[in-house]
Amino acid sequence: MYSEIKNYLKNNLSEKRYTHTLAVAEECMYFADIFGLGEHERDVLNRAALFHDITKEKTPDEHICLCRVYNIEFDKAYLSTPALFHSLTGGVFARELFPTVCTDEVCELIDTHTTGRENMTLLQKILFLADSTEATRRHESCIELRAYFHDNAADNDPKILLDRAVVKNLDGTISYLLRTGKEIAVDTVKARNYLLKNSEVIK
C-alpha cells in the first residue's frame, strides 16, 4: 500500500517536496518510537505524513475549486495566503485518490499540520512538529528546533518536551508572519494559547 502512495507522490510532486514528504514520515516514526506508539497509531501517522503536502503545489484556483466541491469553509485569510490552503484540501484530495487509506483519523492530522489547533491530540502534535524537524530542512529555525527536541529527549518527559517544541514552532511561525506583515490564522494563535494555559510548557 505505501509503495503505491509513494509512486503517486514521486510522479506528481517536485523532487524537493517528495524528499521532504519521505523525511516527515521518517521523523514521525522517530517520534512514534519516543512515545512508544502502537501499530495502529504508527500507521495513521505514516499515512498522514505521506499525504500531508499532497496539494501543496496546487494553484490557489485549484484549492478554491476543491473547497467548493467538498463544501469546505475557509477563512478569508486563506485567500491571501495560499500556503494555508493545502492543509484544508490535502485530506479530501488524498481521499479521492486513496479512499480506503485516507481515513478520518488521517485527515484529522493533515488538517492541523500547518497552523496547529486548540487541544491537539498527540498524533496531531507529532505531525505538526515533524513537518519542521525532519532531517532535510535547512532553515536555521528548523535545525534549532530539531536539535532542541532530539538533544533533550533522553532526559525529559517527552510529552512536556513535545508541547514546548510545538510552542517554539508556533512562536517561530508567528515571528515570521509579523516580520513579513502577514495575517496570523486564528488556529495558530489558539494552538499557542491553549498550550500556554493547559500544559507545563513554561519552566
The footprint of Fe ion (CB under 5 A) covers 53, 131
Total residues contacting ligand DGI by CB under 6 A comes to 18
Q: Which of 131, 133, 118, 31 is nearest to 83 (CA)?
A: 131
Q: Which does 41 bind (CB under 5 to 8 A by kind): Fe ion, ligand DGI, none?
A: none
Q: Does 94 bind ligand DGI (CB under 6 A)?
A: no
Segment 172-201, which members bind ligand DGI (CB under 6 A)?
173, 177, 182-185, 188
How many Å from the N-terminal Cα to the C-terminal Cα in the chain? 43
Q: Does 124 bind ligand DGI (CB under 6 A)?
A: no
Give whichever of 144 and 200 is closer to ligand DGI, judged by the CB atom: 144
DSSP codes joined into one string, 147-162: HHHHHHSTTS-HHHHH
Nearest distance from C-beta of residue 155 to ligand DGI, angstroms: 28
Nearest distance from C-beta of residue 17 to Fe ion, angstroms: 8
Name which position in 56, 58, 168, 192 contacts ligand DGI (CB under 6 A).
56
Say how far apart CA 93 and CA 97 lie, in whole Å: 7
DSSP codes joined into one string, 138-202: -SHHHHHHHHHHHHHSTTS-HHHHHHHHHHHHHHHHHHHHHHTTPPPPHHHHHHHHHHHHHS---
Q: Does 58 bind ligand DGI (CB under 6 A)?
A: no
Give whichever of 131 and 187 is closer to Fe ion, judged by the CB atom: 131
> What is the identity of the amino acid at 167?
V
**Footprint of ligand DGI on this chain (CB under 6 A)?**
20, 53, 56, 81, 83-84, 87, 113-115, 131, 173, 177, 182-185, 188
